[in-house]
Structure 1
């Protein structure tokens, strides 16, 4: 073959580029992480109580990895406090598991049984092509209300948004969450007896909060340098509350939602439902000083808990060179002229063709008056004694194998399923500015195993089948929501409300993708096989 000078130069450039990529691309590694699940005394908002924590911290230990790595997470259950659940089970929110490792997914009585006290389990998470902002929490009952929640960040060395920010590290993670002074067993007993969801005492920002009449716990301080652009990864780790995020005098440019990149979209206020994550870029372009980071929240009637004051939920953005004092401005709920993020305005960074729906499923959500009970299509979910995955691996692949209360949908492989949450009679959620009353009526649904295209947001009339975003948590309420996903990941995947009080009261389903493909897979490891016998042998007070 005859080579010209041009072709030789091109070949040389190509080889240099390939060599450079090979040298600079980080090697994919297996990273070992240990989470000791322990009871410790803590006072995130100044009120001391026993909590459940990962490695004695609230929020728990930060887990980081790079795209393509494998995480091996050893969870050691060392819980002893009888006022809270003593078994546990870990969910890695937004991480995709597959048929080969669905048993590692950690959803109690769907993919596994809980981990008994004084026992351990090793979760293996091949991260594949995923990157972004995720988190982990207990998936057992409402246990993460007691504190078992923490961040999981997967960095992309070739992040397509890399030119938009200068700083992205473990110091630029914002975790907001609701906090209760009472532990979950009495709180849950009260909910069951009255049907009234407990109202939180406070909200926390990176583990610090305040309540009415409580001590002035120091606000979390976010240090920045003038002129630099910061990627902040915001995680709403609540079990109920909706947080509204803003920073005085600063814009926020959204670049990702629930671990999926979006076209950069600038706003000055973001409302986040339980379980949602947003990555934003803030340009530190204001005069050197201190600025409020506002994180007011709503969640239930605040007159039911006089400790609650959503205005106290905040942090401080402090420029280098500014005095170590609180901002001079008042504590507000946010900008006077809000440019509120509407998730329907977000667009995917990487365009993709959204396939038409092969099948439609309508899910009607109804709460029973006077009881702590939610129904999906007239069924209140109850966890089965034998986990869904165990049944399928044992050859029970017909609909008759699943009790009605398991609310299990058997979905054929490689289809596009559209889930329709119809609107309720109340139509307030059509308003552009979402008020507190609407927040109280809206809930948030989360899909395990996949994310979904958000065809219609609860806060918009627009139906977008062309370029909707993908995410894994979306609000569901009075205006109706439509999502769509592919059944290309065989497994029994939980699809539930991320207000865990609602989930515990039955607001959940199981979406089984390709039941025959699951049944044909290999049996899980021996450690997983022993979880159910060990849990079933426990007395009720240790479960």
Structure 2
């Protein structure tokens, strides 16, 4: 609030500046509806915020409080009718944890005809984020969109000339079937349904489909652009590059990095990067290559991994597609995540507690969830409790009891936890995401340990090379820590990090609206809880 107060006083003393002072509160309304959508030319019903895919971009300014009114207007019972919204990467302070949006951890979902208002004081946080449904597989049906927090005094502003809604890039996987039959197929076969298409800024093509227009990103010769790249996939990673141009990374998951130039980067589900691109090539059209990875295209003949792409168009260039071939990108000078360094040094603190997370998949299992397919952490498959984790903590504090299948790890407040994912023989790279916080990336999957100046981020891949992250419990409360391949997460690849249970009970005082969520959800007919 001190930042906002200073701006207001400055504006009062200099009336000409009043127009640039942001309101202390930014209010947004999202109507969650079912509507037809055809991002790749195939029309299906989707779950959409304000009727669009991606949903409306939410923008805010450092220091504001973001107030998001969400109205559930869903009617299509072939998809989930309840919902709950997560604001991925946005820090949540302990007293406000009940607005965090994680079903059955910090809240309950809300059904059709109901509404909920999320109040999110943004504090000093800035960067590139996104919001999506956190309920089951619902965001695969379309409920996902960017969220950007701008910094009026960005210390890296001298590196770019343009940073606005036209410079936000999203990549996403897309299915022609809704998530409910897709999930049923996964449970029956242990094979995640392969996406029908990859999308760039909500557009793409599939084999044999219509020649839908690719999204065009306009640039002007000589200008430098901050492109904010968000992977909103439910499964897939994307290799991103732009023909004839380099990309200078200056942010990873909301944290500023020392500028690091590459030709190509791999972005996992849930991750975000800001890159600076200088428009210094001949006036023409250039392919923005966003090559989908995840699943064997032979299992879905609709998928052509090269058809989810965009066009970088210089001012004065023809209104046409590039004449050069569609490629997978340069294949050289690819980002090594472990080479990134924080712009502002933040050495990781000494370790108080060590955890080891061994991930595994069990086929044809008889799990407490009833699923025939399950993913495990240390041989435990996460199952959502009936009573949310936060409700238990507010009732009982440190005496709260959790079922084994809640996979909840309890620590004192203000301690440092290190989680190690040993090298795995699985043919998967699991993008693990920590809610409401971020972590020091001590060891990236492909790099050596860095205990001196690792980057901080909130999504990192755990796979064959082994990964280590470190974080603190300085914000007491229960926080999801799960794989952002939502197919895996929804069959058990999740956990809860719960710090300072007595502190949580003492500091958290939810609103009446939050208190009413679980009774209302529990009273819904079974068909509306889905």
Scaled by the length of structure 2, what TM-score is found?
A: 0.94
Structure 2 Cα separation of the partners of residues 387 and 470 of structure 1:
29
1:430 maps to what in 2? none
Within-5 A mapping of 1:191-210: 191-210=186-205
1:312 maps to what in 2? 307
1:264 maps to what in 2? 259
* Structure 2 spans left out of the alignment, 5+ residues: 1-8, 365-371
**Structure 2 residue 156 is the aligned partner of structure 1 residue 161:** yes
1:108 maps to what in 2? 103
- Once the two structures are superposed, residues 32-68 of structure 1 have per-residue CA deviations (whole angstroms, 9 ceiling, x without a partner) of 1000000000110000000000000000011001000
The partner residue of 1:131 within 126, 129, 141 is 126
The partner residue of 1:369 within 363, 368, 371 is 363
**Secondary structure in 1 matching 2:319:** coil
Structure 1 Cα separation of the partners of residues 116 and 413 of structure 2:
30
Which of structure 1's runs of 4+ aligned residues deviate more than 4 A? 18-25
C-alpha deviation, 1:396, in angstroms: 4.9
2:415 maps to what in 1? 415
C-alpha deviation, 1:134, in angstroms: 0.3
**Secondary structure in 1 matching 2:180:** helix
Q: Does the 8 Å contact 2:36/2:45 carry over to 1?
A: yes
Structure 2 Cα separation of the partners of residues 143 and 201 of structure 1:
17
1:471 maps to what in 2? 457
Q: Does the 8 Å contact 1:196/1:372 carry over to 2?
A: no
C-alpha deviation, 1:193, in angstroms: 1.4
Structure 1 Cα separation of the partners of residues 300 and 425 of structure 2:
29
2:336 maps to what in 1? 342
* Structure 1 spans left out of the alignment, 5+ residues: 1-17, 427-439
Structure 2 Cα separation of the partners of residues 22 and 175 of structure 1:
41
2:517 maps to what in 1? 531
Choose 1 or 2 for highest CA Rg: 1
Q: Does the 8 Å contact 2:357/2:422 carry over to 1?
A: yes
**Secondary structure in 1 matching 2:266:** strand
Structure 2 Cα separation of the partners of residues 539 and 306 of structure 1:
38
- Once the two structures are superposed, residues 244-267 of structure 1 have per-residue CA deviations (whole angstroms, 9 ceiling, x without a partner) of 000000000000000100000000
C-alpha deviation, 1:99, in angstroms: 1.5
Q: Does the 8 Å contact 1:98/1:491 carry over to 2?
A: no
Q: Does the 8 Å contact 1:87/1:116 carry over to 2?
A: yes
1:322 maps to what in 2? 317
Q: Does the 8 Å contact 1:449/1:491 carry over to 2?
A: no
1:301 to 1:520, Cα distance in 2 relative to 1, 3 A: same
Q: Does the 8 Å contact 2:97/2:508 carry over to 1?
A: no
Structure 1 Cα separation of the partners of residues 246 and 106 of structure 2:
42
The partner residue of 2:505 within 515, 519, 526 is 519
- Once the two structures are superposed, residues 487-518 of structure 1 have per-residue CA deviations (whole angstroms, 9 ceiling, x without a partner) of 10011100000000000010000000111100
**Secondary structure in 2 matching 1:295:** strand
Structure 1 Cα separation of the partners of residues 519 and 10 of structure 2:
53
2:403 maps to what in 1? 403
Structure 2 Cα separation of the partners of residues 376 and 117 of structure 1:
34
**Secondary structure in 1 matching 2:275:** strand
C-alpha deviation, 1:19, in angstroms: 6.1
**Secondary structure in 2 matching 1:128:** coil
Q: How many residues align?
A: 510
- Once the two structures are superposed, residues 161-211 of structure 1 have per-residue CA deviations (whole angstroms, 9 ceiling, x without a partner) of 000000000110001100000001111111111211111000111111100
| Aligned-residue RMSD, C-alpha | 1.4
The partner residue of 1:181 within 176, 179, 186 is 176
1:73 to 1:503, Cα distance in 2 relative to 1, 3 A: same
Structure 1 Cα separation of the partners of residues 78 and 242 of structure 2:
38
Structure 2 Cα separation of the partners of residues 354 and 99 of structure 1:
22
C-alpha deviation, 1:300, in angstroms: 1.1
1:378 maps to what in 2? 379
Structure 1 Cα separation of the partners of residues 357 and 106 of structure 2:
22
C-alpha deviation, 1:26, in angstroms: 3.0
1:434 maps to what in 2? none
Scaled by the length of structure 1, what TM-score is found?
A: 0.92
Structure 2 Cα separation of the partners of residues 510 and 94 of structure 1:
16
Q: Does the 8 Å contact 1:77/1:117 carry over to 2?
A: yes
- Once the two structures are superposed, residues 353-390 of structure 1 have per-residue CA deviations (whole angstroms, 9 ceiling, x without a partner) of 22111110111101113442001111000000000000
- Once the two structures are superposed, residues 402-439 of structure 1 have per-residue CA deviations (whole angstroms, 9 ceiling, x without a partner) of 0000000111111110000011246xxxxxxxxxxxxx
Q: Does the 8 Å contact 1:109/1:387 carry over to 2?
A: yes
**Secondary structure in 1 matching 2:373:** coil
The partner residue of 1:55 within 44, 50, 55 is 50
Q: Does the 8 Å contact 1:83/1:184 carry over to 2?
A: no
Structure 1 Cα separation of the partners of residues 280 and 195 of structure 2:
35
**Secondary structure in 2 matching 1:395:** helix
2:394 maps to what in 1? 393
**Secondary structure in 2 matching 1:296:** strand
1:514 to 1:21, Cα distance in 2 relative to 1, 3 A: farther
2:488 maps to what in 1? 502
**Secondary structure in 1 matching 2:507:** coil
